[in-house]
Amino acid sequence: MAETDIKAAETEESGKRSRHFIEQEIDKDLESGRFDHVQTRFPPEPNGYLHIGHAKSIILNSGMAQEYGGKFNLRFDDTNPTKEKTEFVESIMADVKWLGADFEDRLFYASDYFDQMYEGAIKLIKKGKAYVSDLTADEVREYRGTFEQPGKDDPGRDRSIEENLRLFEEMKDGKYADGEKTLRARIDMASPNINMRDPVIYRVAHMTHHRTGDKWCIYPMYDYAHPIEDAIEGITHSLCTLEFEDHRPLYDWVVKELEYPMPPRQIEFAKMYLTNVVTGKRYIKKLVEQGIVDGWDDPRLVSIAALRRRGFTPSSIRKFVEMCGISKSQASADYAALEYCIREDLKPNAPRYMAILDPIKLVIDNYPEGQTEELTASNNPENEALGTRKIPFGKELYIEREDFMEVPPKKYFRLFPGNEVRLMNAYYVTAVSCEKDADGNVTVVHCTYDPETRGGDSADGRKVKGTIHWVCADTAITAEARLYENIVDEEKGVYDEEGNLNLNPDSLKVCKNVKLEPAFAGSKAYDRFQFVRNGFFAVDCKDSTDDHLVFNRIVGLKSSFTLPASK
């Protein structure tokens, strides 16, 4: 866990957590009068599904608006039609809402402002701050120079304002092919910040946009569009990740030159990385296309949609983000920390029912034929408010295959011939014999029970070392359970030397003959349970039906993560 950057909530003498650096900067802005309110935004590009790293930005941006009594916008940066789809727009909206980030009626698109962006470009041309370039993309990179050498002027840099206005209008009117001309900001080709060396702010692109259709054949570049979007919407604090730190001078230049009355302030924070997971869109796209996963929301992935489908809760994601903290230091968090958060959320809240993943029959030879009875069990011993339930009990039960062995190793305290164990909430039973199939696999275990031990305790005070769970055969519900492991081989690392994924061939195990107690009847998508001794599970939202329940294992019961001590 050396790479893990999980930080326990620091405390001040007052007992409250210390305020992170973004809160401190917002406090200063409000105290100085730079702003009299707070308005933030989450601006994803709709070119894929969001992953766990995006959750940090959603929670931070919406959280700051909520903390300061401000407003939070959701805005799609749809300036690149080649990669954008309505499917991605819908999935992102679902993710943001699921995480509890309330944008109310403030749903916007960069494409809402294409007219203003075009007008802004005209304004820059008229101010002598932008010009049309004939250079190709490769030539632009060549002219830009290096970190050690300044760039050299574009041949079109000294064009007249009139010529630039004419050429830019011709670009808009579709007179040039893709890549034939661009509009560049006229800033400083000798700037030590390469982003300020006359960056391209518009390119010709004959593409059909998912919202504006074929109205435009020129599209703004992100670094030009983003500050305009923020300024138009009245964003006060544009919170973004560290890779945009070197782009901040250009952000400030755009809003200054376009003379917005209350220019927003960009503040950068460190991304949240998880070890040994796949977040790259091109890798996930390949997994989807090759059928290795069943979609962007496959529960083995860490897209927000996948985590939701697997059974994670919004509160567990929020807790994880809070534990990771907000800072400017790049670091990685262990996936075990995320699992810790969901366990802590579900332990007191999820009903604990009995489910048998790999069933074999247990026949109680001395139990009366045709008799059934109801036993009482707590729905969650850690939360009395969840109440109790009745569990049917009869002569034939199902138990886990691993809970019986003919020849047990030392310290095996479950069923074996002659050994007595407790059936959870029921009786003491003693194994007598077993039946096997033609391959030698145990199919039925025979036992006897002590009717004086109803409820799981003996009247004579004798103790047993083993307790196993069970399901009554007569009333069992048959279901499917999917057991997940990391989709990549953690021992080999995420990528091989050629940059391909090291896939784990055992990332999914399907149990098709799971036996459930009747309390599971009527379970709906996303309902979460603790399967006694087997982990936390959720009803799958895609494949589960009323007639055939399908469960995804969210996480096992045991954790390898230790919460760091408070500082």
Contact 314, 293 (CB under 8 A): no
Q: Please give the structure tokens belonging to residue 425.
A: 């909430």
User: Using CA atoms, how far apart are residues 352 and 520, in angstroms rounded to an integer?
Assistant: 10
Looking at the predicted structure, is the pLDDT value of residue 515 above 50?
A: yes
How much is the pTM? 0.90
User: Using CA atoms, how far apart are residues 416 and 477, in angstroms rounded to an integer?
Assistant: 27
Residues 255 and 384 in one domain: no
Q: Which strands make up the sheet holding 71-76, listed edge to edge?
A: 39-42, 71-76, 107-109
Residues 408 and 259 in one domain: no
Domain limits at 237?
Answer: 37-273
What does the pLDDT read at residue 8?
A: 40
Query: What is the share, in percent, of the chain residues with pLDDT greater than 70?
Result: 95
User: Using CA atoms, how far apart are residues 536 and 559, in angstroms rounded to an integer?
Assistant: 12
Residue with tokens 């390469």: 194
347-364 core/surface letters (b: 16 or more CB in 10 A; e: else): eebbbbbbbbbbbbbbbb
Amino acid, res. 421: V
User: Using CA atoms, how far apart are residues 461 and 459, in angstroms rounded to an integer?
Assistant: 6
What does the pLDDT read at residue 263?
A: 95
In-domain check, residue 46: yes
User: Using CA atoms, how far apart are residues 97 and 84, in angstroms rounded to an integer?
Assistant: 20
Instruction: Look up the CATH number of the domain holding residue 416.
Output: 2.40.240.10
Looking at the predicted structure, is the pLDDT value of residue 567 above 60?
A: no
Which candidate, 5, 88, 7, places its Cα nearest to that of 54? 88
What does the pLDDT read at residue 14?
A: 41
Residues 230 and 375 in one domain: no
What does the pLDDT read at residue 133?
A: 98
User: Using CA atoms, how far apart are residues 426 and 399, in angstroms rounded to an integer?
Assistant: 13
In-domain check, residue 341: no
Q: Mean pLDDT across the stretch 193-215?
A: 95
Which candidate, 114, 24, 38, places its Cα nearest to that of 76? 114
Q: How confident is the model at residue 563 (pLDDT cuts 50, 70, 90)?
A: low
Q: Per residue in 473-483, pLDDT tens?
A: 999 999 999 99
Residues 108 and 202 in one domain: yes
Q: What is the largest CA-CA distance in the chain?
A: 103
Helix, strand, coil % in the chain, rounded to nearest 5? 30, 25, 45
Instruction: Give me Rg for the CA atoms of the chain.
Output: 31
Contact 183, 171 (CB under 8 A): yes
Per the structure, how many domains does the chain have? 2
Q: Per residue in 70-81, pLDDT tens?
A: 999 999 999 988
Contact 427, 375 (CB under 8 A): no
Residues 102 and 237 in one domain: yes
Looking at the predicted structure, is the pLDDT value of residue 242 above 50?
A: yes
The sign of the CA dihedral 532, 533, 538, 544 is: negative
Judged by average pLDDT, the poorest of 11-15, 46-50, 442-446 is: 11-15
In-domain check, residue 140: yes
The domain boundary residue, chosen from 258, 273, 288: 273
Q: Per residue in 355-409, pLDDT tens?
A: 999 999 999 999 999 999 999 999 999 999 999 999 999 999 999 999 999 999 9
Residues 247 and 370 in one domain: no
The domain boundary residue, chosen from 233, 257, 273: 273
What does the pLDDT read at residue 439?
A: 95
**DSSP string spanning 74-99?**
EEE----TTT--HHHHHHHHHHHHHT
Q: Per residue in 349-360, pLDDT tens?
A: 999 999 999 999
What does the pLDDT read at residue 81?
A: 87
Judged by average pLDDT, the poorest of 163-167, 357-361, 371-375, 454-458 is: 454-458
Which candidate, 253, 251, 255, 254, places its Cα nearest to that of 267? 251
User: Using CA atoms, how far apart are residues 326 and 237, in angstroms rounded to an integer?
Assistant: 15
Q: Mean pLDDT across the stretch 53-82?
A: 96
Looking at the predicted structure, is the pLDDT value of residue 521 above 50?
A: yes
Residues 378 and 269 in one domain: no
Residues 110 and 238 in one domain: yes
In-domain check, residue 121: yes
In-domain check, residue 1: no
Q: Please give the structure tokens belonging to residue 427.
A: 């009786």
Looking at the predicted structure, is the pLDDT value of residue 1 above 90?
A: no
Backbone torsions φ then ψ of 42, nearest 5 degrees: -115, 120
Q: Please give the structure tokens belonging to residue 360.
A: 């074999």
What does the pLDDT read at residue 16?
A: 62
Q: Mean pLDDT across the stretch 183-208?
A: 97
In-domain check, residue 172: yes
Residues 545 and 418 in one domain: yes
What does the pLDDT read at residue 562?
A: 63
Looking at the predicted structure, is the pLDDT value of residue 124 above 50?
A: yes
In-domain check, residue 259: yes
What does the pLDDT read at residue 12?
A: 39
The domain boundary residue, chosen from 249, 273, 297: 273
Contact 263, 269 (CB under 8 A): no
What does the pLDDT read at residue 216?
A: 97
What does the pLDDT read at residue 17?
A: 67
Query: What is the share, in percent, of the chain residues with pLDDT greater than 90?
Result: 85
Residues 84 and 192 in one domain: yes
Q: How confident is the model at residue 495 (pLDDT cuts 50, 70, 90)?
A: confident
Q: Mean pLDDT across the stretch 251-272?
A: 96
Residues 367 and 266 in one domain: no
User: Using CA atoms, how far apart are residues 442 and 403, in angstroms rounded to an integer?
Assistant: 11
What are the angstrom distances between the C-alpha of 417 and each of 64, 355, 390, 431, 459? 63, 24, 30, 5, 23
What does the pLDDT read at residue 13?
A: 38
Backbone torsions φ then ψ of 200, nearest 5 degrees: -70, 130
In-domain check, residue 295: no
271-297 core/surface letters (b: 16 or more CB in 10 A; e: else): bbbbbbbbbeeebbeebbeeebbeebb
Q: Please give the structure tokens belonging to residue 321.
A: 């983000």
Contact 131, 186 (CB under 8 A): yes
Residues 361 and 492 in one domain: yes
Q: Mean pLDDT across the stretch 305-315?
A: 97
What are the angstrom distances between the C-alpha of 321 and each of 99, 151, 487? 12, 41, 23
